[in-house]
Chain A
Amino acid sequence: DTGVSQDPRHKITKRGQNVTFRCDPISEHNRLYWYRQTLGQGPEFLTYFQNEAQLEKSRLLSDRFSAERPKGSFSTLEIQRTEQGDSAMYLCASSPRDSNTEAFFGQGTRLTVV
């Protein structure tokens, strides 16, 4: 499968624990996005990388959230001290170098905080 892959697919964690998700974009896609989606809502932007540079971070993103893309390939999203309100589907998407083309989504990581 040469699409965007995310790991894990599902994560159940206790409130207060830290979690880390991984996204592997399509090879040679230089743009990588993280979105969060809750039931019945559209994907909500979290952060965006072009190569290894984090170019934008949502104002809605608390300091408990951090993302990296150290070598411009895969990316990780970490949530520290999880809260029940963090329960959601976390989607990763990647786009190629060209201006404004399709964002390809991964299957997401569903986080449940209990």
Chain B
Amino acid sequence: GENVEQHPSTLSVQEGDSAVIKCTYSDSASNYFPWYKQELGKRPQLIIDIRSNVGEKKDQRIAVTLNKTAKHFSLHITETQPEDSAVYFCAASRPLQKLVFGTGTRLLVSP
């Protein structure tokens, strides 16, 4: 089955810096790769996703890149702000199948 690895487990940056979180997946049939943000005590919420037919997607300060050959995808957050502090999860899934999540990255943005 699918296995998703995520690094780093914690990431501390200064406000205004960029943050990059990386994930690798094992199942070459996976074609959907969302990123979720989870604040303490709250539900995971989708912040951006990418499908296997594109290599990059951007939404304001957030971007995701996908390398299908290497089976890895990354989340890039530019101009980080304190409100970006949260736990971020990557996930992967086959068409119409369950999401398999990474172990999460705790991002701390210091003012």
Contact = CB atoms under 8 A, between A and B. Distances in A.
Contacts of A44: 101
Q: How large is the interface on B (under 10, 10 to 19, 20 to 34, 35 or more residues)?
A: 20 to 34
Nearest to A31: B96
A91 B34 CA distance: 17
Chain A residues touching B, range: 20 to 34
A31 B96 CA distance: 9
Contact of B31 (A40, A100, A104, A107): A100
Given A100-B32, A100-B96, A42 B43 contact: no
B94 to A, nearest CB: 8
Interface string B90-108: 0101011111111110000
A111 to B, nearest CB: 15
Interface stretch (B12-20, B44-52, B58-66, B70-78): B44-52
Contacts of B31: 100
Rank and list the top 6 A-B pairs by shortest CB-CB distance, nearest first.
A42-B101, A100-B32, A105-B43, A45-B98, A102-B46, A42-B89
